Structure formats: structure tokens, C-alpha cells
Amino acid sequence: MHRATVLEARQGLREGRFTSVELTEAVFRQIDRVEAQVGAYVHLARESALQQAKNADEKIAAGGAEGAPLLGVPLAIKDLICTEDQPTTCASRFLDGFVAPYDATVIKRLRAAGAVLVGKTNMDEFAMGSSTENSWKHPTRNPWDLDRVPGGSSGGSAAAVAANECLAALGSDTGGSIRQPAAFCGITGLKPTYGRVSRFGLVAFASSFDQIGPMTKTVADAALLMNVLAGHDPMDSTSASVAVPDFTQALDRPVKGLRLGVPKEYFTSGLMPEVASRVEEAIAKLKSLGMETVEVSLPHLDYAVAAYYILACAEASTNLSRYDGVKYGFRSPHSDDLLSMYQNSREEGFGEEVKRRIILGTFVLSSGYYDAYYLKGQKVRTLIKNDFEKAYEACDLIVAPTSPIPAFRLGEKTDDPLQMYLADIYTLSANLAGIPALSIPCGGTDAEGLPVGLQLMGRHFDEETLLAVGHRFQENTRFHLATPALAGE
């Protein structure tokens, strides 16, 4: 049962083939079998999940499943989305044990849709990282190879879905944190258009980039979750007042004749040859399904890493100033006056990478450097946005690798932050431009069998085309059905 997709589970629950309590128990049994190896979660909510499952079963028995599209379905939540009945720690010492006084809007929506919340998933501290090694608690391991990282920062969510420790999960994506771990763990991940999903109750990292999105076993499940998550929220002034389509209906849209833009800058020397081969084979498959390819150019790709890390750090340094030891969270016990209390709380409460970002961000915003770094970064952001607009004159969506490499080994990049940043090269542009982007599995490397991700990037608010193309691909391939084999299963 725990291997089911959300759609399959929904069907089984409605037909009475199993109950939500049985399904939820099956998920927790799987967690008992594999979690010690994977380490996907930082908090498990067994009791409340079973209670929610019981309520769902009563509702189903009473015929109340209509209007509750996720009724009885066990999901996992990245630990930076506020939940009033579970801790929200962002995998940081600073928020250890913190319980938010309110639910994020997406959590309210999931609860209204009847979802069962299994627990909170591990992540890089405050979502800063690409490997989940920056978690204060413990690293998460890739279920395909326990010596490798699951990607990050939503590595816990990706690993939990891949290891069948939940049916689907929520992640967040500031610079690739949904798509890159989805690619590394062989699952489906969608970063929606900036403004499509409310950020109210999402702990802020870089507010002009952050988006919440679904991490699932299939594109069809991602569409279903998007129907629940998307929509304007008066509590988030950056959430867009645009109509929300029925994403599930979009799955069956015709894709014949769609023009796939292949950006030549994405297929250069930094791309591992085997990853290139899998992506090229996937593009050939899409062509065989009636789509055509056109070469497009995104000439400012080379500046994406620099622009992103300047702007995201600048925003982070401002957002993280709220952690001062006074209002909530960690307070250092080793202080004898106010100033040293601030300083020691921040020194002891934040991890190394978070401190690095605060220092970088404060530097690029400081007088004398603002124009040279922050302002210039904003200008590059506009150029990158313009590149996409120009490319979309010639194509309907863009196809590219999600990551230049498959999952790397634990510890491989921890001593070299720049190498870690550079690996984000293919995902950052979508965040800089605010466009939606989907990662789907497209096969594995020959020797190690590590998953490879295909990235589809769309026009603003055109998640539908991405979902339609991704779904058609999954209807005609079996890559998304592959699952890792873990000891004890």
C-alpha cells in the first residue's frame, strides 16, 4: 500500500479496498523498516497522523469524500512550512523545538483537502544547500545509494517519497531545492511560477525566489496536489490573483506540435556525458510523441550562479535578522549583556553555511558595495528574465538537464562551498526569472544506476503545458516507476 501513488491511494480508499488507517499504518511500517538507513525525517507525527486517518475513514464512510481530493492520503512536509501541531525547525539549532502558532496557508489547504500529515522532513538548514548535509540534525541519505546525498535542500522530502516513506511531499524551491533532489532521487518535482502558491507560513529564505511545490511519484500526482495548493492568498501580497486552472484536466491536453526549446548553453562541457545522453534520449522520445525541437539561446546562463548567490544571500541576511535570541527560538545561555546575548545566540544558533550567507549578504548590501554587487545582480536578473522571454517567442517550453551531475557522495563537496554552488547552474535561472519548472526522471547512469532528471521550463503561469508534456512522457516510459531497493523491505 505504501508504494501507491496519491491517485491510486485515493481510488483504493474510495472503493473501500483499504482504509486510511491501514494505509497510514503501512507507511509507518515502511518508516520503521528504512528510516534508520535514510534519515528523511526530523519529526514523525505517528499519533496525530493516525487520528487524522481515522477522521478521514469516518468521512469516507459517511460519503463525504467529494470536495476533499486528498482525503486519507499520507503526506510529508518539509520542515520549513509552519504547522501548529508539529515543530517547525528548518533543521536549525536556532528553531529546535519551535512550534509555530499557526498553520501555513498550504497546510490549511492540505488539511481542508483531508490529507494525513506524517511528519516533517529533513533539509539543509534554512534551505541553504544542495545536499541536505547542512541539516543541524543529521544528513539524509539517497535511497538509491546510501553513500550519496539525496540533493537539497528538500532532500528529506525527496528521499521520503523515493523510499515510500510517504505517498508525496511538499518541498520548497528557492534555487532548485525541489527539482535537484527530485532528480537525484528519481522522483517528480514541480517548482510553480513565483506567486502561484502562497508563501504565508513558509519560513523565509529569499522572499523574491521562494516557492512551495509538490514532490511526487508521478506528474499526475503533482497536478492533483497543485489543484489543492495553488491560488491567491490575501495573507501573501506576492501571491498572484490569477485564475487557477484544473491542473488534472491539463494532463490530457494535446502535446502534438509543441515546440521544445533546447538551450545550447545547457549542453556544454560542464555537463556529465551520461547525463547528457539520458536527456538527449528523453528529448528524442518527446519528438517521437509528436513534439518538435528548436535550438534556443539563454546567453546569460554563465552569470546565473553569481547573480543568484548575491541576491539570495542579500535577502537571507535581511530575513534572518529576526533570529536575535529575543523574540523566539534559541537564546545563548553564555551572555552577560544584551549585545553579547545577540552575538552569542547567532554564533551558537546558526550553522556554518547559514553564517557564510549572512556575511555574504550583509557585505553585498553594505554601502559602497551595494551598486557593485546587489544592484548589478538585479540587472543580471532582468537580463536572464529577458532571455527566457525571447526564447519563448520561438518555443512553447524549454527542455534541459535538471543537474549537470547525478547524486554525489556525502562529504564530496562539503569542504568547497563554491563547487556546491556551481552544481546549481541549471536550476537557478527559473527562480531568477520566476517561471515554472518541472523535473521528471529520465533514466539512470550505466554503472551506478543513479537517477537522472529531465527539466521542463515553461512560461509564467503555464504549469499546464509542463504537466501535459511530463504526463505524456510518463505514459510512454517507465523511468518514474523504478524504485530503489532498501535493506529490510
Q: From 122-130, 219-227, 268-276, 320-328, give the range in contact with ligand GLN by CB under 6 A.
A: 122-130
Q: Torsion over CA of 301, 314, 155 and 327, rounded to 10 degrees? A: -170
**Whether the Cβ atoms of residue 145 and residue 444 lie closer than 8 Å to each other:** no
Q: From 173-181, 229-237, 270-278, 397-405, give the range in contact with ligand GLN by CB under 6 A.
A: 173-181
Please count the CA atoms within 13 angstroms of the CA of 396 that sit on its side-chain side.
18
145 binds ligand GLN (CB under 6 A): no
Q: Residue with C-alpha cell 545563548?
A: 332
**Whether the Cβ atoms of residue 315 and residue 209 lie closer than 8 Å to each other:** yes
143 binds ligand GLN (CB under 6 A): no
User: Which residue, 21 or 428, is less far from ligand GLN as judged by CB?
Assistant: 428
Three cell numbers written together for 420 = 556546491
Please list every residue from 188 through 227 that binds ligand GLN, using CB under 6 A.
205
230 binds ligand GLN (CB under 6 A): no
Alpha-carbon gap, residue 316 to 174, rounded angstroms: 11
Alpha-carbon gap, residue 20 to 313, rounded angstroms: 42
Answer yes or no: 317 catalytic: no
- Of 131, 135, 153, 172, catalytic: 153
Spell out, one character per residue from 469 to 488, where the chain touches ligand GLN: x when CB under 6 A holds, - when not. --------------------
439 binds ligand GLN (CB under 6 A): no
153 binds ligand GLN (CB under 6 A): yes
Residue count of the chain, please give it. Answer: 489
Give the distance between the most distant pair of CA atoms in the chain.
Answer: 70
Three cell numbers written together for 398 = 524549454
Among 424, 462, 463, 464, binds ligand GLN (CB under 6 A): 424
Q: From 7-15, 95-103, 126-134, 218-226, give the range in contact with ligand GLN by CB under 6 A.
A: 126-134
Alpha-carbon gap, residue 152 to 147, rounded angstroms: 15
Answer yes or no: 198 catalytic: no
Three cell numbers written together for 220 = 499526475
Alpha-carbon gap, residue 470 to 458, rounded angstroms: 12
Among 312, 320, 397, 432, binds ligand GLN (CB under 6 A): 312
CB of 157 to ligand GLN, least distance (A): 12
Alpha-carbon gap, residue 193 to 197, rounded angstroms: 8
Alpha-carbon gap, residue 191 to 355, rounded angstroms: 26
End-to-end CA distance of the chain: give it in Å, rounded. 13
128 binds ligand GLN (CB under 6 A): yes
* Residues 6+ away with beta carbon under 8 Å from 225: 6, 70, 168, 170, 214, 216
Among 129, 192, 377, 404, binds ligand GLN (CB under 6 A): 129
- Of 154, 172, 177, 198, catalytic: 177
Among 52, 177, 193, 198, binds ligand GLN (CB under 6 A): 177
User: Which residue, 176 or 361, is less far from ligand GLN as judged by CB?
Assistant: 176
Among 57, 79, 173, 274, binds ligand GLN (CB under 6 A): 173
CB of 173 to ligand GLN, least distance (A): 5
Answer yes or no: 287 catalytic: no
Residue 269 burial (C-beta neighbours within 10 Å; 0-12, 13-18, 19+): exposed
CB of 302 to ligand GLN, least distance (A): 17
175 binds ligand GLN (CB under 6 A): yes
Interface contacts to ligand GLN, rule CB under 6 A: 127-130, 153, 173-177, 205, 312, 424
As annotated, the active-site residues are: 78, 153, 177
